[in-house]
Amino acid sequence: MRNRTRIVEAARAALAEVYRRDVEELVAAASALLVEHEPVEALRHWLDRVLDYAAIKRGVGR
């Protein structure tokens, strides 16, 4: 049982790291989009990315 617990904890830590990196990329994208587009258009593009991310992550829990 101890091995199972360690494996589950390691998997959770790895998954948390992936999510953290993904969110950092979304945050960084906001600045990059503002350089390329007017604010409202940049927001639209960023929200599209957030929605795409949410759709992908929604499938992870299934």
Domain residue spans in the chain? Answer: 18-60
Distances (CA, A) of 12 to 1, 6, 15, 18, 19: 17, 10, 5, 10, 11
The pLDDT value given to residue 62: 58
- Over residues 47-59, the pLDDT tens digits come to 999 999 998 888 7
Q: What is the pTM of this model?
A: 0.72
Q: How many of the other CB atoms lie within 10 Å of CB of 39? A: 9
Q: How distant, in Å, are the alpha carbons of 9, 10, 26, 28, 45 from that of 13? A: 6, 5, 20, 23, 30
Q: Contact at 8 Å (CB) between 27 and 50?
A: no
pLDDT in tens, 19-37: 899 999 999 999 999 999 9
Q: Which residue has the higher pLDDT, 2 or 62?
A: 2
